[in-house]
Amino acid sequence: MNGMSKGAPSVGVALRSPAPVRAESDRIFDITVCLRPFRAAGPRIEAERIGDTLIVHNYGHGGSGWSLSWGSGTLAMEIAMADSPTEVAVLGCGALGLTAATLAQRAGAKVTIYAKDLLPQTRSSRATGSWTPDSRIALTSVAGPQFGDKWERMARTSFKTYRQYLGLPGTPVEWRDNYFISDDPSGSPAPEPAGALDFAHYSDRIADIVPRSARLSAVESPFTAPYVRRGAQMQFNIADYGHTLLTDFLLAGGKIERREFHAPAELTTLKEKVVINCPGYAARALWNDQSITPVRGQIGWLVPQPELDYGAIYNGIIMLSRRDGIVIQSFEGGDMRGYGDDHEVPDHAEADHAVSVMAGMYKRYWRG
Ligand X SMILES: Cc1cc2nc3c(=O)[nH]c(=O)nc-3n(C[C@H](O)[C@H](O)[C@H](O)COP(=O)(O)OP(=O)(O)OC[C@H]3O[C@@H](n4cnc5c(N)ncnc54)[C@H](O)[C@@H]3O)c2cc1C
Q: Which residues contact residue 15 at a Cβ distance below 8 angstroms, ignoring those fewer than 6 apart?
A: 216, 220, 221, 222
Q: Does 34 bind ligand X (CB under 6 A)?
A: yes
Does position 95 interact with ligand X (CB under 6 A)? The reply is yes
CB 109, min distance to ligand X, A: 19
Long-range CB pairs of 164-167, under 8 A, 24+ apart, other chains included: 165/241, 165/244
- Which CB sits closer to ligand X, 23 or 35? 35
Is there a contact between 321 and 309 (Cβ–Cβ < 8 Å)?
Answer: yes
* Stretch of 82-90, 101-109, 127-135, 310-318 lying at the interface with ligand X (CB under 6 A): 127-135
Distance CA 105, CA 14 (A): 46
The DSSP output letter for 60 is -
CA 239 to CA 243: how far, in whole Å? 6
Tell me, by CB under 6 A, how many residues bind ligand X: 40
Residue 26 C-beta: closest distance to ligand X, Å: 23
Element (H, E) at 110: strand 110-115
Only segment of 77-85, 111-119, 207-215, 244-252 that touches ligand X (CB under 6 A): 111-119
When asked if residue 300 is in the footprint of ligand X (CB under 6 A), the reply is no
**Nearest CB to ligand X, comparing residues 200 and 225:** 200
Determine the Cα angle at 239 with ends 19 and 124, to 5°. 115
Asked if 97 interacts with ligand X (CB under 6 A), we say yes
Using the rule CB under 6 A, give the single segment among 70-78, 113-121, 171-179, 352-360 that binds ligand X: 113-121
Member of 94, 148, 242, 300 binding ligand X (CB under 6 A): 94
Give CA–CA dist 33/24, Å, rounded.
20
- Give the HSE-up count for residue 225: Cα atoms under 13 Å, Cβ half-sphere: 28
- Helix 65-80 × helix 145-162 angle, to 10°: 100
Asked if residue 152 lies in contact with residue 134, where contact means CB atoms within 8 angstroms, the answer is no
One-letter amino acid at 254 equals G
Residue 234 identity: M
Min CB(16)–ligand X separation in Å: 27
CB of 260 to ligand X, least distance (A): 4
Using DSSP, state whether 269 is helix, strand or coil.
Answer: helix
Stretch of 29-37, 179-187, 192-200, 208-216 contacting ligand X, by CB under 6 A: 29-37
Query: Do residues 84 and 300 touch, judged by C-beta distance below 8 A?
Result: no
Q: Which of residues 146-205 bind ligand X (CB under 6 A)?
A: none
Alpha-carbon torsion 358, 360, 361, 365, what sign?
positive
- Give the shortest CB-105-to-ligand X separation in angstroms: 17
Q: Which of 54, 90, 111, 127 binds ligand X (CB under 6 A)?
A: 127
For ligand X, give the closer residue by CB, 181 or 320.
320
Q: How far is the CB of 13 from ligand X (least distance, A)?
A: 26
Q: How far apart are CA 179 and CA 219, in angstroms?
A: 15
Q: For residues 337-356, which are near ligand X according to CB under 6 A? A: none
Of 63 and 85, the one with the shorter C-beta distance to ligand X is 63
Taking CB under 6 A as the rule, which mask of x and - marks residues 232-261 in contact with ligand X? ----------------------------xx
Of the residues 56, 75, 93, 214, which one makes contact with ligand X according to CB under 6 A: 93
Report the interface residues with ligand X, using CB under 6 A.
34-37, 59, 61-67, 91-97, 115-117, 122-124, 127-130, 132, 260-261, 278-282, 286, 297, 299
